[in-house]
Amino acid sequence: MNVAIIGLAILGAFIVLAIVAVGVTGRRQPSQRIYRHATVLFVAARRRDADTRFDADGALWTSRTLFTLIGAEDGYWTDFAILPPDLSAASRLSTQVNLSDLFVAEVELTPVPAFALGVLRLRHRLGLTRRPTGPLPTVVDHIDGQPELLPTAESIARAQAYVPRTPVTMVNFLEYHASARGDVKDGRDAYLRYGREAFKAVHAVGGQFLFAGRITAVLVQPQHPDWQREWDDVAAMIYPDPTAIFAMEQFPFYRRALGDRDEGLKRTCVIATRAY
């Protein structure tokens, strides 16, 4: 009996330690600084001169564009930021003379439990999920899907030529179809079903979730006509290096979800950035 009690006590202590470790890891994820707020301001800026500084006082996150992975708007925005929900911040940004264009949107963040982030992060750290070691693609012709929603051979080469083991944040602009086939109600619903699998795949290759949310209002409309078209959502994921995003395609569960992505997405632009 004593042995059984001791065994149960050890098991209980192990469970408590595991829960604490998951909770601590989840609270330390980079998303948690942003997720102190339910609503934030998402900023995309274009500097006139690469040598000037983009000033986003009080920003919760800032990054600088490296290259465009998916989409035709290559090389337009130079900087991105997430700001607390202070509407006067948009006015202050608009006065910066070193900016030639600006997009500021109010974003309602999609709730993501810190505990779930902690579980996924710890699973990877403990080796329970691993990045596939297969060869990286040079083209994406082997993937079924709409070409405009996939990276080109040129953008794949650019990503693979970038400095290895350098973290990048992929900023995703998303526009959904108004309707979708099957058992989903609309394009957003189809994409969110894909997103749940992508979320697991990102963490399995060593990445981390940063933020995702619905654009509820555009506070500063960009001047560039290609960017005046409405976007529905914006999201960002951190990868350990630019090639990790291609490694995800080697997970069978992720490849099965690509149909939901194509069913949901009408248009997207994915921009690789580096936080600063």
Q: What is the DSSP string of 199-235?
A: HHHHHHTT-EEEEEEEEEEEEE--SSGGGSS---EEE
For 96-123, letters b (16+ CB in 10 Å) and e give beebebbbbbbbebeebebeebbbbbbb
Q: Which residues contact 33 (CB under 8 A, 6 or more apart)?
A: 60, 61
Quickly state the pLDDT bin for 217 (edges 50, 70, 90): very high
Beta carbons of 69 and 270 less than 8 angstroms apart: yes
| CA-to-CA separations, 30 to 44, 64, 97, 176, 217, in angstroms, rounded | 20, 17, 31, 27, 25
Q: What is the pLDDT of residue 57?
A: 85
Quickly state the pLDDT bin for 5 (edges 50, 70, 90): confident
Task: Quote the CA–CA distance of 250 and 186 in Å, as a whole number.
Answer: 28
Quickly state the pLDDT bin for 233 (edges 50, 70, 90): very high
Tens of pLDDT, residue by residue over 136-161, are: 766 665 565 677 788 888 888 888 88
Quickly state the pLDDT bin for 60 (edges 50, 70, 90): very high
Tens of pLDDT, residue by residue over 86-141, are: 888 888 888 888 999 999 999 999 999 999 999 999 999 999 999 988 787 666 65
Of the candidate ranges 50-59, 98-107, 167-176, the one whose mean pLDDT is the lowest: 50-59
Q: For the chain, what is the mean pLDDT?
A: 89
- Phi, psi (degrees; rounded to nearest 5) at 108: -90, 115
Q: What is the pLDDT of residue 139?
A: 64
Q: What is the pLDDT of residue 218?
A: 96
Read off the pTM. 0.91
Higher-pLDDT residue of 73 and 261 is 261
Q: What is the pLDDT of residue 100?
A: 93
